Structure formats: structure tokens, C-alpha cells
Chain A
Amino acid sequence: MSEQSSNESGVEPTGAGSAGSAEAATEPTPVRPAEVDSVARAAQTPELPLPYAELGMKDDEYARVREILGRRPTSAELAIYSVMWSEHCSYKSSRVHLRQFGDKAPQSDALLVGMGENAGVVDVGNGWAVTFKIESHNHPSYVEPYQGAATGVGGIVRDIISMGARPVAVMDSLRFGPPDAPDTRRVLDGVVRGVGGYGNCLGLPNIGGEVVFDDCYAANPLVNALCVGVLKPEGIKRAIAPGPGNKVILFGAGTGPDGIGGASVLASATFDEESQAKRPSVQVGDPFMEKLLTECCLEIFDEDLVVGIQDLGAAGVSCATTELAAAGTGGMDIDLNTVPLRDPTLRPEEILMSESQERMMAVVEPAKVERFLEVCAKWDVPATVIGEVTDTGRLRMTWHGETIVDIPPGTAADEGPVYERPYEVPADLAQLQADGPGRLPRPATPEDLRNTVLWLAGSPNLADKSFVTSQYDRFVLGNTVLAMPEDAGLIRIGDGPQGIALATDGNGRYARLDPYAGAQLALSEAYRNVATTGARPLAVTNCLNFGSPEDPGVMWQFARAVEGLADACQALGVPVTGGNVSFYNQTGTTPINPTPVIGVLGVHDDVNRRVPMSFNVEGTTLLLLGETRPEFGGSEWAHVVFQHLGGLPPRVDLAAEAALASVLVAGAREGVLNAAHDLSDGGLSQSLVESCLRGGLGCVVDLPDDPFTELFSESVARAVVAVYPEHEERVTALAQAAGVPVRRLGTVGGDAFEVAGLFSIPLSELREVHQGALPALFG
């Protein structure tokens, strides 16, 4: 069973940090059927050496394939096993840990489809279900930022479609190297254009995400794309191929030499020494085809024309056929010659491994094939019957009449190797944790405090992200109620008033200091962000970005992060519905900071009662909910002012988080909150700056005790709310009933951010600093 599925390029860099380079095809060699490595030939030449090591397969893995088949694999079979048993498709290093998400899953009536399918599905009530998932496309986005990011969006959107849903929004969680490095400009520019170019053309509003800069991502940018879709619970589709005699249809784009760097080894080394055709390792996206495919699929679903469907992502036809067959009746016959090709010279091994985009595979009853093909024709989507379901328990493929694949599909799809990789605490962790932020000099004077507010507000991680988000369409489909820079994106579903909220968060610095807490803090923040809009958090998706699992220190970080996330999901009562693991994010032997990115989905009963972040009513009262402790380990203050990373991250307090969320949700439902904004990176200072600038009104706050801690601490489970004076009592009562500390901070008004008795900053000055930073770097 695949615990989580994945779409990232199957290429696994071996520590160099990049996925190899794209090279143009040269002198393609026409296929000569006589050279086909058939099953019969494999039986006759049992000792013919195959380049399994070059395909990333270990000796014992290859031995196991021989044992399963009782002979050497054909080159086509080797292609299938090598990609299906790759880290990327098999989760062989992560699987033993990921089981905790299931074992510790909280009881939830809302979960309709859990982990293991293309994406999880949750029931959001009123006859609607929602499916959502986040996935990485990190390595391709470094090699070719535009196409890497674009196809990252395309891949996750197809996952959502293949659950039977109409995609309704996307989000993107991005991490780049230092903002002033020349290569960051190349990567950021391409990635943002790619996310926008694909998502905009597909007609999906981009409603949020993150843009983070850190030296550790310089040669390992993180591009995590999330998609959410809406469907009726009875319309859920599965990736299964049941019913002998049912037809297997490949539809969408033609198959070309995309992302098959590995397969060219097979095509050249084994059979034709002269063919050195190197294939590009990064796929190229065609969002227009994906748009056609989307509408085509939705019409096909409406007419109930499929019994099973699977999108083609990593490992292409190999993955789709083995997984569909393994999850269905168990057998499938495929004629590979019928696969429509963009490049007629492709070898069968290359067809099997091609990661050409915008393709889907459907299983269709014979009586419905004609209508299926008609719908495809209406949308100009090429569709071809390439095989049928059997009850043989074997996946068989032919090429020019010869059988080149004959395997039990489950052995490739579900029974890949499982590793219990050794892990140990990174050698430098104790030293890192001992070097706390206590030694850092704090701003001593009101002037210093004022400057620190400005410094943080204009730092790349906290600065206004409009430079990025204005390149995305947030209006299309007409249901976007809230989008970035709001705490969470909020989408109306059906005809309303119901809606869904989504937020993604992750903090690699926290996770570096303590991966168990870091994963929990990411969940905590996303959970809080969703609740801040008034939505009730319901379910979780995750994208776990780490270095090499072969490094025991990284493996320890991974194990701790998964454990932390699973424990926190259990405590907060929100199940993990799916996600993705991305390993090998490192340069040489230096891994990125462990970066679990967590997405939380919430439900809003009435989007008319959503709570925005902007201070826009003069005279409203500001209340601070939650407790502030002096917590600066991994904080933006330490990072921006001192480039310091050390100590421990803020203390996790999931009970306080749940209590705060209950107050925010109740306050929204009662309509007593005029604005709310969570406190996280940069603390209270940054939250007030953002809410003031968003609404165009200043505020005056009173910070009598320790203004430095009050302004810049990053303690969890806190939010600032603006309420009409007549609601102050009610909100205070709600907080007290839930055990949430509440304190009156001040009032909204004027045109400056003022801390009484200490300093005042005109909004115009803040705006220039906050909004000018990214355009100055990248404009």
C-alpha cells in the first residue's frame, strides 16, 4: 500500500543537489523490433547484465526482482521496477515512519478517503466533499524553474481531478536562497512565472501560500504546490481497474521524451551502444491541454463513464498501469504500440518511464467506450484504448507482438522495498540548542525598538509579497472570499454560504532546532490561520522536505518531525489525509533545514461572517488573545538582526491552540470580530503592521511591561482581534470561558503605528519599507 503518492520527478540526485541537466536529444535511433528484449529472450539469456545500478537500484533490490519473476527481468520490466521502487514512488525510507499518521489518526467522521489514494477526501457537510493535497516539485524547479514549477501545479491539479473533483483553487509554498544572490533571482522569477503561467491559464485562483528566503535553500529551492477540489461524496473516483474485459484508455497529451533521463540508459546501454540519445530530465507543461483535460474529465464523471481513473505523474504509464491493476481485479493487458507518441522513436522502456504531462488513464466498461471517446473528441482531447482488464493476476505488455512485460502488478506497486534507515541525533544539535538567543543584545531605547519594527517589516521574509502574488489570478471562478495576504485563503462552495479555508505553514529554522516541535509548530500555525478567518479546522495535508535519508542525522530529523506531526494531529483532532515526502534536498553533504510544510483545511459555515485581517474601522478595540512568553529561539528577530539560529523554538501548546481557535470560531459565528490576525513570524509587531497597512488605519497600543518581548516574541496560540467597543465584553467573556488569556491592547485609528509613550511610525513610512522590499530586490 502506498501510504502517500507522489508526483515529483523520479530523478533522485545522489547528493549533488540538482536533478541533472536537461540535454537535447541527438540523432534518435529508429526502433528495430528485432532488438526488443522480450520475456522469451530474457528466459534465453538469463545472465545478460542489465544496468540496474545506473537506474538507482541496489544489488539486493535487483535480486528480489529476479526472485519475484523467476528469471531476469526484461529491460521494460526493469524500467517499471526501477521507477516504482524508487524512493520517490515507493516511500521506501519514509514508509515505516509515515504509518504513524494512520496509527495515531484521530477519530473523524469527516474522513471519506484517507491516505493511499491520489488525495484524501473529507465531508464538509451539506452534501459537499472536499479533496486537497500538497506536493513538492523541488528538484525540477531548480534545474528549470519555469517548467519545474508549472508542472508541479499541473501534477497536483491532476491528482485532485482524478478523485472526481472540480479543482477550485491552488496555493504555493515557496522557499528560495538568499534574496540578494543572483541565482535566487533566476529561480524566483522562473518559479513564480511558472506557478502563475500554469495556474492562471488553467483558471484556478491562487489563494495563498508562502514565500521564504534562507541560505539553506540556495541550491535547493522548495516548490510545494497545493490544490483543492470540490465534489459530491457519491462522485468520488478511485484509482482501480476492476472488471475483466473493461477497457484501459490513455487520454490527454501524447507521450514524449519528458523526464526520462533514466530510461535512456536502458535504451542505449543494453541494446544499442551507438545510441547515446540523452533525454531531458524535466517535463514541459501545457496548461491549455490540462484545462481541456479538466473539463473533459468532469463531463466524463458527470455521465458516469469510468469505473476507475488515475493521473499520470511520476513513472507515467508504469505507475498508472501497475497501481490500477494492483488495486483492481489484478490483471491487465496493454499493447504499448497503441500509446500515442509525440516522438515515434521512443523505446518501450522510455514509453513506460516517460513523465509527459497532461495525461490520464481511465478504466471504462466496453459499452461506454464510444461515449467516452465522444466526450474526449468534443474537448479535442486525444484518447486511445491501449488495453483491457484481465483476471490473470498479471500485468502483461506487448510490443510489436512480443510480450515484453509479464509481472504481478502488486509486486511493483505495493511491495517495494522498505528500509529502516539508521538515524541519530545530528552531531551539532546540542551545540546549536545551547547557543540560545539570550546572548543577543536587545534594542535598548524606544528609537531602537522603532527601528527594529521597521527592520523586520522590510526584511525579505516579512515584507509584503504582492510582487509575487500579483502575478497570480485570485479572482477567477468568482468564489474567492479571502486570499493572500490574509491568514488563510477562503473559498465559497456551492452557492454558499458554506466555504472552505486553507493555510500552509512551515518554519525550517524551528524544525532545525527541534524537528519534533518544528512540525508541530507548523501545524499549530496553519491551524491557527484557518481559525483566524472563522473556519473550523478539519483535516491536514503535508509536504515533508528533507535532505538525504541516507544521512542518519537527516533521518533522525525526519523521524522526529513525523512523530511530532502525528502526535499533534491526534491532539488537535485533525487527521492527515495525504501528502508527499521529498528527500535529497541537499547540496553536497549539507542538507536544507528540515522543512515540513503543513496544510490545514477548515470549514466555514457562513462565508459572509468571515473575519479579515484588516484594521479598517476607526475606534475599534484591539484585544490580544493568548499568552506571551520571552521566546526568541529561531525567531525572525534573531534571524534578521543577527543572522542567529540557536536555542529552542517557541514552546508548543496544542491545548492553548485549540482553545484559541474555539474563541476565534465562536467570535466569527456571533459576528463580534471586526478583524483578526494571527501572531507568528515577527510577533505582535509584524501582525499590527500588516493589519494596519491592509486596512489603511493606524493603531495605538499600550505595552507596559516588557515592550521588546511583547513586540517580537513568537509565542504560539496568540491572535490580535479588533472589535467594536460594544462587543469587547462578549469577546472577553468568550476568551475567559475557553481559558484563553485576554488583554486590552489599544485602539484602531489614526495614520500611524504607535506604542504609547515609546514611538510612533507613520503608515506611509511603514508602507514604503514593507511594500518596497521585494520590488527593490526582484522588480
Chain B
Amino acid sequence: MSARVGVITFPGSLDDRDAARAVRLADAEPVSLWHAEGDLLGVDAVILPGGFSYGDYLRAGAIARFAPLMEKLVAAARDGLPVLGICNGFQVLCESHLLPGALTRNTGLHFVCRAQRLRIENAETAWTTDYEEGQEVVIPVKNMDGCYVADPETLDELESSGRIVARYLDVNPNGSLNDIAGICNEAGNVVGLMPHPEHAVEALTGTSTEGLGFFTSVVKKLVAA
């Protein structure tokens, strides 16, 4: 039986279909989850996709954290459910305090869409075991509020405990502190990532297929479990 990976759709989610496609390409079954429902439908992992969950006229992700489904998700994540927040999903995870820090307006004040080179810094999270530590991949980044910030103690803590999952190379597209592109929680089951691995799963339409590893990592872990 294949793993069932939930993809939450908020009213303003945009990359939910892409995330579902990536799950399928990783040989798992995507399960559509509606933000207003109160049930995770027994999925084995959850992806919070990119987009503008509620328009994000307030702080990105600030309203989404109050969605009925988020309450269930926060509890499940604390119990070890693998959760990947991509872009707006990362913002929602920070607003929900599943991850520390916050994502603020890009320092260049422009929306930035580009093929971005990254280094995978932690290949032991639920979502990165199919990579090697130090592996370099090219994955699209596209955001308006992608500048990762945290207080110095939190940054030290993230750095010293190996919780930086990925870092920008060549160009820091949004001014993130320490070139941070993604982080995880202490247990490694919750990962927030500003770049979009779901847009790098097919050579035809993506920058590469190097994003697929995030999805195959969690699927392998789930199948093995």
C-alpha cells in the first residue's frame, strides 16, 4: 500500500496541484485536505503548499494558522507527523510556532522568481534523507516575503543543532539571515522551505528534477515504517 500524503488547500493556495503532482511522481497517493475541515483523514504526512493562503494582505500566513485544520495539524506534528511547509507553507509553520523565526519582506522589496542553487545542509530530516549532506541542487524560488529572520540565540541554536536544512548559494534572493533557505524542528519531522521543490520534479517544466528528493525521502520513510 502506498503512502498517503495530504496537501492542504487554503482558499488562496496556488501550488497545491503541483505538490499533489510531486507526491504522485514520488509514487505516493496525494490526499486533498480542505482548510475548513477538522480532520486530517488519517494521512501519513502533510504538505502545506505555496500561495497566498488568505490573500496575505496581513502578515503572510498570519490568518492561515487559525484555520480549523491547523489545530489538528499542530498537534499531529508535535506527535511526529512529517510536515513540509513550502514558501507560504513555511510562513504558516512559523506563524503556528511549529518552527522558530519569521519570514519578512524580501530585502530587495521585489517579488523574486529564479532558478536557485541550494546546498542541502541536513540530510537526516524526514524530507531530506534522499539527499547527501552538502549536495547542491537547483530549485525554483519565488516569493515576496522570503527573508528568514530570527533572534541571534535562535540562529545559534539552529546552526549548532544542525537544523538548517538548506542554504542559498551564489545569490541570496531575499536577504535571509545566514543564507537560510529552510529549517526543521528539533525532531526533524517538520521542515519549512522557502524554495519550491514541487516545481523541480519534471525536467520538462521545472528547473531540474532535483526537487523530487524531498518527496521520495518522506515516502521511503513512510513505506519503511
Instruction: Tell me, yes or no, whether A binds B.
Output: yes
Which one, A287, A289, A476, contacts B18 given CB within 8 A?
A476
Which one, B52, B142, B205, contacts A288 given CB within 8 A?
B52
Q: Please name all residues of chain A whose beta carbon is closer than 8 Å to the beta carbon of B140 when the two chains form the complex.
A: 475
The 8 A CB mask of B181-210 against A (1 = contact, 0 = none) is 000000000000000101100101110000
Q: Please name all residues of chain A whose beta carbon is closer than 8 Å to the beta carbon of B55 when the two chains form the complex.
A: 201, 286-289, 291
Q: Are B11 and A492 in contact (CB under 8 A)?
A: no
The 8 A CB mask of A654-668 against B (1 = contact, 0 = none) is 000000000000000
Q: Nearest CB to that of A286 among chain B residues?
A: B55
| A91 at interface by CB-CB < 8 Å | no
Given contact pairs A200-B142, A288-B52, A478-B205, a sample of 14 additional A-B residue pairs in the complex whose CB atoms are under 8 Å apart:
A201-B12, A203-B15, A203-B51, A286-B55, A288-B57, A291-B12, A291-B14, A472-B113, A475-B205, A475-B206, A478-B198, A478-B206, A481-B204, A492-B205
Q: Are B54 and A470 in contact (CB under 8 A)?
A: no
Q: Are A477 and B12 in contact (CB under 8 A)?
A: no
Q: How far, in whole Å, are A479 and B198 apart by their CA atoms in the complex? A: 12
| A423 at interface by CB-CB < 8 Å | no
Which one, A286, A291, A478, A608, contacts B17 given CB within 8 A?
A478
Interface of chain A residues 487 through 511 with chain B (CB within 8 A): 492
Q: Are B52 and A475 in contact (CB under 8 A)?
A: no
Which one, A193, A380, A470, contacts B112 given CB within 8 A?
A470
| A359 at interface by CB-CB < 8 Å | no
14 contacts between A and B (CB under 8 A): A193-B111, A197-B111, A201-B52, A286-B55, A379-B11, A470-B110, A474-B113, A475-B205, A476-B18, A476-B142, A478-B18, A478-B199, A478-B206, A481-B204
Q: How far, in whole Å, are A286 and B56 apart by their CA atoms in the complex? A: 11
Q: Please name all residues of chain B whose beta carbon is closer than 8 Å to the beta carbon of A475 when the two chains form the complex.
A: 18, 113, 140, 142, 196, 199, 205-206
The 8 A CB mask of B27-38 against A (1 = contact, 0 = none) is 000000000000
Which one, B51, B110, B204, contacts A608 given CB within 8 A?
B204
- Top 9 A-B pairs, shortest CB-CB distance: A288-B55, A203-B14, A475-B199, A478-B18, A471-B111, A201-B52, A473-B142, A475-B140, A196-B111
| A170 at interface by CB-CB < 8 Å | no
Q: Are B110 and A471 in contact (CB under 8 A)?
A: yes
| B21 at interface by CB-CB < 8 Å | yes
| A691 at interface by CB-CB < 8 Å | no
Chain B's nearest CB lies how many Å from the CB of A57?
Answer: 39
| B72 at interface by CB-CB < 8 Å | no
Chain B's nearest CB lies how many Å from the CB of A284?
Answer: 12
* Count of chain B residues with a beta carbon within 8 Å of a chain A beta carbon: 29
* Count of chain A residues with a beta carbon within 8 Å of a chain B beta carbon: 32
Q: How far, in whole Å, are A202 and B14 apart by their CA atoms in the complex? A: 7
| A292 at interface by CB-CB < 8 Å | yes
Q: Please name all residues of chain A whose beta carbon is closer than 8 Å to the beta carbon of B221 when the two chains form the complex.
A: none
- Residues of B participating in the A interface, judged by any CB pair closer than 8 Å: 11-12, 14-15, 17-18, 21, 50-52, 54-57, 110-114, 140, 142, 144, 196, 198-199, 202, 204-206
Q: Please name all residues of chain B whose beta carbon is closer than 8 Å to the beta carbon of A111 when the two chains form the complex.
A: none
Most buried by B among A197, A473, A480: A473
| A607 at interface by CB-CB < 8 Å | yes
Q: Nearest CB to that of A289 among chain B residues?
A: B55
Q: Are B14 and A476 in contact (CB under 8 A)?
A: yes
Q: Name the prevailing secondary structure of the B interface residues.
A: loop
Contacts A470-B114, A475-B113 given: A492-B204 contact, CB under 8 Å?
Answer: yes
Which one, B18, B52, B54, B113, contacts A471 given CB within 8 A?
B113
Chain A's nearest CB lies how many Å from the CB of B109?
Answer: 9
Q: Nearest CB to that of B14 among chain A residues?
A: A203
Most buried by A among B15, B17, B110: B110
Q: Are A481 and B205 in contact (CB under 8 A)?
A: yes
Q: How far, in whole Å, are A287 and B54 apart by their CA atoms in the complex? A: 10
Q: Please name all residues of chain A whose beta carbon is closer than 8 Å to the beta carbon of B142 when the two chains form the complex.
A: 200, 473, 475-476
Q: Please name all residues of chain B whose beta carbon is closer than 8 Å to the beta carbon of A470 when the two chains form the complex.
A: 110, 112-114
Chain A's nearest CB lies how many Å from the CB of B22?
Answer: 8
Q: How far, in whole Å, are A169 and B97 apart by their CA atoms in the complex? A: 35
Q: Are B11 and A380 in contact (CB under 8 A)?
A: yes
Q: Nearest CB to that of B19 among chain A residues?
A: A478
Q: How far, in whole Å, are A288 and B10 apart by their CA atoms in the complex? A: 11
Q: Are A607 and B11 in contact (CB under 8 A)?
A: no
Q: Please name all residues of chain B whose beta carbon is closer than 8 Å to the beta carbon of A608 when the two chains form the complex.
A: 204
Q: Please name all residues of chain B whose beta carbon is closer than 8 Å to the beta carbon of A481 when the two chains form the complex.
A: 204-205
Q: Are A288 and B12 in contact (CB under 8 A)?
A: yes
The 8 A CB mask of A283-308 against B (1 = contact, 0 = none) is 00011110110010000000000000
Q: Are A473 and B113 in contact (CB under 8 A)?
A: yes
Q: Are B112 and A471 in contact (CB under 8 A)?
A: yes
Q: Please name all residues of chain A whose beta carbon is closer than 8 Å to the beta carbon of B110 when the two chains form the complex.
A: 193, 470-471
Q: How far, in whole Å, are A287 and B199 apart by their CA atoms in the complex? A: 22
Q: How far, in whole Å, are A17 and B23 apart by their CA atoms in the complex? A: 52
Q: Please name all residues of chain B whose beta carbon is closer than 8 Å to the beta carbon of A196 when the two chains form the complex.
A: 111
Q: Please name all residues of chain A whose beta carbon is closer than 8 Å to the beta carbon of B52 when the two chains form the complex.
A: 201, 287-288, 291
Q: Are A480 and B57 in contact (CB under 8 A)?
A: no
Q: How far, in whole Å, are A608 and B111 apart by their CA atoms in the complex? A: 30
Q: How far, in whole Å, are A477 and B13 apart by their CA atoms in the complex? A: 11
Q: How far, in whole Å, are A470 and B142 apart by their CA atoms in the complex? A: 9
Chain B's nearest CB lies how many Å from the CB of A481?
Answer: 6
Q: Are A479 and B205 in contact (CB under 8 A)?
A: yes
Interface of chain A residues 292 through 336 with chain B (CB within 8 A): 292, 295
Q: Nearest CB to that of B198 among chain A residues?
A: A478
Q: Please name all residues of chain B whose beta carbon is closer than 8 Å to the beta carbon of A480 when the two chains form the complex.
A: 205
Q: Nearest CB to that of A610 among chain B residues?
A: B204
Q: Please name all residues of chain B whose beta carbon is closer than 8 Å to the beta carbon of A473 when the two chains form the complex.
A: 111, 113, 142
Interface of chain A residues 247 through 295 with chain B (CB within 8 A): 286-289, 291-292, 295
Q: Are A477 and B18 in contact (CB under 8 A)?
A: yes
Q: Are A291 and B11 in contact (CB under 8 A)?
A: yes
Q: How far, in whole Å, are A240 and B112 apart by their CA atoms in the complex? A: 42
Chain B's nearest CB lies how many Å from the CB of A172?
Answer: 14
